[in-house]
Amino acid sequence: MARMRAVDAAVAILEREGATQAFGVPGAAINPFYSAMKAHGGIRHVLARHVEGASHMAEGYTRARAGNIGVCIGTSGPAGTDMVTGLYSATADSIPILCITGQAPRSRLHKEDFQAVDITAIAKPVTKMAMTVLEPAQVPGAFQQAFHLMRSGRPGPVLIDLPLDVQLSEIEFDPDTYQPLPVYKPAATRAQAEKAMDLLASAQHPVIVAGGGIVNADAADLLVSFAEVTGVPVIPTLMGWGTIPDDHPLMAGMAGLQTAHRHGNATLLESDLVLGIGNRWANRHTGGLETYTKGRRFVHVDIEPTQIGRVFAPDYGIVSDAHAALSLLVEVAHARKGEGRLPDWSGWSAACLERKRTMHRRTHFDDTPVKPQRVYEEMNKAFGRDVRYVSSIGLSQIAAAQFLHVYGPRRWINCGQAGPLGWTAPAALGVVAADPDTPVVALSGDYDFQFLIEELAVGAQFHLPYLHVLVNNAYLGLIRQAQRQFDMDYAVQLSFENINAPETGGYGVDHVRVAEGLGCKAIRVTEPDGIADAFAEARRLMAEHRVPVVVEIVLERITNIAMGTELDNVTEFEPLATTPEDAPTAVGMMT
């Protein structure tokens, strides 16, 4: 047996488990781990500017490709607490990332040592496992268990905390004989698939709700095959967007309160049975449950047993990995079709397609300042089918979900449940690190952009080029909307007169100068006709300099709102004349 430091064993295991990329910030308590990475040389490292940013980079890295596990690393104390937001975001969206933190020596853990915090206790609620390794010989087992847990069942993050003296201790370990633990994923049975098909066959207007579990299981092709053999329309969730291309005739649109389409809501409310696969019935998708569930039956397939019945009781539940379940469902559907036992839903799917054709909203506006709808129209024109969109939260994300077009899995990368501001830029950098050959377009409002703006320097330093569309209204629109119920407009004033940059028009921060000061390129657009040219110039600058390029588009805003009476033009989207007057705009919240 070979004797080596515990950190050398840990890095050897990372390499054996397939980890090739880490994001982090070195520091005193984690430097032994960094020395092992340097000695082994098999793991690339990107130096973040903020440790929370490193955790979001790891998320983006994982989300970009099937099988990826992003690794984020920090020292003791605040490094770990900073990464908790990334762990929360990852666990909320079922994303496996490995967070490694340094820690004070074991003898000082109870003595309030400098930057010594019980990070395990803090991180446990937002991880599948959080462990401070107190015995050096446990290090290999801790890392082996971490990868097993991250990949098994519902994926999620793990934190391993390594005291300084544990890292430096020598242990017996043979990396040549190391083997990853088998991954456990529950699988549907043939009988369960037959039962689900029986329920589906009993419906006149069935729909499939496709969740992020299908993306995690790399099962989008199976979903499309199942939809095509049955002829059943598909309503993806925000996390499942792209599992069926937007231009597929069976893509019925998204449903929900915000990130939704009018035709998707209308189709959902016309349905009589919903087959949910790999979804959580999240409240932004369902809206009011009474309206969402009334008059329809539900079959729910999910990899996590406790997810079945968590939000409401389905008529039938199946605990299964989405890939395994869809494989069986496709097999059963083909068999029944060959036997003439599959209903003909062509009339229903044609009606859904007609709703999709007619219930569009107007996007072409020539107003100055620019209306947000025009931005997304130009994005759809400028970027191809293979582009990866990365976005976090806010009016920009809501409008993107309503107006952008997505054509494949992992082409829409979004923090769905947690929605931390600042997520977009570091996540986009992680996506580029995972797949530098696919174009990446990030989308932020000005406040999201400002939260972790320093991470742009990472893209410049490590040549991680992407295009960042910054829609700037200096407005905090979502927060202002929420404040209306309290009849106030308080502490939400982002704009100010920038004496060094009067061209910002009182919008405050000069994002162009800040981005360029961080080593990137930036373009400001104030006219709708300039958007397309700016995108073309941004692509040229990316190719020439291999750095992130920010395209800031100055949007309209309303500075004097009569609270409760005047609508905010930032979020009001005018429907086409062909839209039925009574078309529902939100499931569970009709307007």
25 among known catalytic residues:
yes
Active-site option among 87, 159, 375, 421: 421
Question: What residues have CB less than 8 Å from 479, skipping those under 6 apart?
Answer: 492
Give me the pLDDT at residue 567, please: 27
Concatenate the DSSP letters of all residues of 219-246 into one string.
Answer: -HHHHHHHHHHHT--EEE-TTTTTSS-T
Same domain, 194 and 339: yes
Give me the pLDDT at residue 481, please: 82
Active-site option among 43, 183, 229, 479: 479
Which residue matches tokens 């990372």? 14
Active-site option among 7, 11, 13, 25: 25
Same domain, 307 and 337: yes
Element (H, E) at 542: helix 531-545
Active-site option among 30, 51, 100, 222: 51
Whether residue 418 is contained in a domain is answered as yes
Give me the pLDDT at residue 111, please: 80
Whether residue 576 is contained in a domain is answered as no
Within 13 Å, how many C-alpha atoms sit on residue 588's CB side?
18
Model confidence over 401-418: pLDDT tens digits?
A: 999 999 999 999 999 888
Which residue matches tokens 């040389």? 41
Pairwise CA distance, residues 395 & 123, whole Å: 30
Active-site option among 476, 518, 551, 554: 476
Q: Which of 350, 371, 349, 351 is nearest to 362 (CA)?
A: 371
Q: What is the mean pLDDT of residues 448-474?
A: 96
Whether residue 569 is contained in a domain is answered as no
Query: Is pLDDT at 303 greater than 80 in this prediction?
Result: yes
Same domain, 7 and 106: yes
Pairwise CA distance, residues 494 & 492, whole Å: 6
Which residue matches tokens 């010989």? 137
Whether residue 560 is contained in a domain is answered as no
Model confidence over 433-443: pLDDT tens digits?
A: 999 999 999 99
Question: Confidence class of residue 570 from pLDDT cuts 50, 70 and 90?
Answer: very low
Please tell me which residue, 568 or 5, carries the higher pLDDT value: 5
Give the domain-ending residue among 303, 335, 358.
358
Q: What percent of the chain has pLDDT over 70?
A: 94
Instruction: Tell me which of 86-90, 410-414, 563-567 is least confident.
Output: 563-567
Question: Confidence class of residue 1 from pLDDT cuts 50, 70 and 90?
Answer: low
Give the domain-ending residue among 325, 358, 391.
358
421 among known catalytic residues:
yes
Q: Indicate the length of the chain as a whole number.
A: 591
Concatenate the DSSP letters of all residues of 125-190 into one string.
Answer: GGSSEEEE--SGGGHHHHHHHHHHHHHSSS---EEEEEEHHHHHSEEE--GGG--PPPPP-----H
Q: Which of 454, 186, 181, 445 is nearest to 320 (CA)?
A: 186
CB 415 within 8 A of CB 259: no
Q: DSSP letter at 105? A: -
Query: Is pLDDT at 586 greater than 70 in this prediction?
Result: no
Give the domain-ending residue among 358, 389, 408.
358
Same domain, 348 and 206: yes
Query: Is pLDDT at 587 greater than 80 in this prediction?
Result: no
The structure tokens listed for 465 are: 């080029």
51 among known catalytic residues:
yes
Whether residue 366 is contained in a domain is answered as no
Please tell me which residue, 71 or 588, carries the higher pLDDT value: 71
Please tell me which residue, 62 or 2, carries the higher pLDDT value: 62
Q: What is the mean pLDDT of residues 213-230?
A: 98
Q: What is the mean pLDDT of residues 429-434?
A: 98
* Three-state DSSP class for residue 448: helix
Same domain, 171 and 232: no
Whether residue 573 is contained in a domain is answered as no
* Partners of 158 in the β-ladder: 98, 129
Question: What residues have CB less than 8 Å from 118, skipping those under 6 apart?
Answer: 109, 132
Query: Is pLDDT at 253 greater than 90 in this prediction?
Result: yes
Element (H, E) at 299: strand 297-302
Q: What is the mean pLDDT of residues 519-533?
A: 96
Same domain, 395 and 310: no
Query: Is pLDDT at 382 greater than 60 in this prediction?
Result: yes
Pairwise CA distance, residues 406 & 248, whole Å: 11
Same domain, 118 and 165: yes
SS3 content of the chain, % helix, strand, coil (to 5): 40, 15, 40
Same domain, 278 and 353: yes
Kindly give the interhelix angle for 6-16 and 31-40, rounded to the nearest 10 degrees: 50
Q: What is the mean pLDDT of residues 144-162?
A: 98
The structure tokens listed for 44 are: 């690339």
CA 113 centroid distance within chain = 37
Distances (CA, A) of 22 to 18, 77, 552: 12, 19, 30
Same domain, 162 and 208: no
Same domain, 336 and 473: no
* Partners of 210 in the β-ladder: 236, 277
Strand duo 70-74 + 44-47: pairing: unpaired
Question: Confidence class of residue 582 from pLDDT cuts 50, 70 and 90?
Answer: very low
Whether residue 539 is contained in a domain is answered as yes
Query: How many C-beta atoms surround the C-beta of residue 481 within 10 A?
Result: 15
479 among known catalytic residues:
yes
DSSP collapsed to 3 states, 511-529: HHHHHHHCCCEEEEECCHH
Query: How many C-beta atoms surround the C-beta of residue 118 within 10 A?
Result: 15
Distances (CA, A) of 539 to 94, 430, 468: 33, 19, 11
Question: Confidence class of residue 501 from pLDDT cuts 50, 70 and 90?
Answer: confident
Pairwise CA distance, residues 248 & 208, whole Å: 14
Give me the pLDDT at residue 590, please: 30
Give me the pLDDT at residue 82, please: 96
Q: Which CATH number is 125's domain given?
A: 3.40.50.970
Give me the pLDDT at residue 419, please: 85
Q: Which CATH number is 317's domain given?
A: 3.40.50.1220
- Domain span holding position 98: 3-177
Whether residue 566 is contained in a domain is answered as no
Same domain, 259 and 407: no
Domains in the chain, number: 3
Question: What residues have CB less than 8 Å from 122, skipping those under 6 apart?
Answer: 80, 81, 84
Same domain, 77 and 136: yes
Question: What residues have CB less than 8 Å from 12, skipping those under 6 apart?
Answer: 4, 40, 173, 175, 178
Q: What percent of the chain has pLDDT over 90?
A: 81
Pairwise CA distance, residues 41 & 43, whole Å: 6
Pairwise CA distance, residues 492 & 97, whole Å: 34
Question: Confidence class of residue 506 from pLDDT cuts 50, 70 and 90?
Answer: confident
